Amino acid sequence: MDILRIVVAILLPPLGVFLQVGLGLHFWLNILLTLLGYIPGIVHAIWIIART
């Protein structure tokens, strides 16, 4: 299941974080990072998925 979340995180980083942690601080932080730059959003999403 984590591989599917990582693929989703590469395509849509906030969705990958949402599937892992729901509507929390990390979700909103990831939206901000994705708006500031797509790569920081991906890195944060993969870090959240790999951490838990």
pLDDT at 12: 96
pLDDT for 52 beyond 90:
no
**Of the candidates 9, 5, 1, 8, the residue with the CA atom closest to the CA atom of residue 41:** 9
pLDDT at 1: 77
pLDDT for 2 beyond 90:
no
pTM of the model: 0.90
- Taking every pair of Cα atoms in the chain, the longest distance, rounded to a whole number of angstroms, is 28
pLDDT, one tens digit per residue, over 5-43 is 999 999 999 999 999 999 999 999 999 999 999 999 999
pLDDT at 18: 95
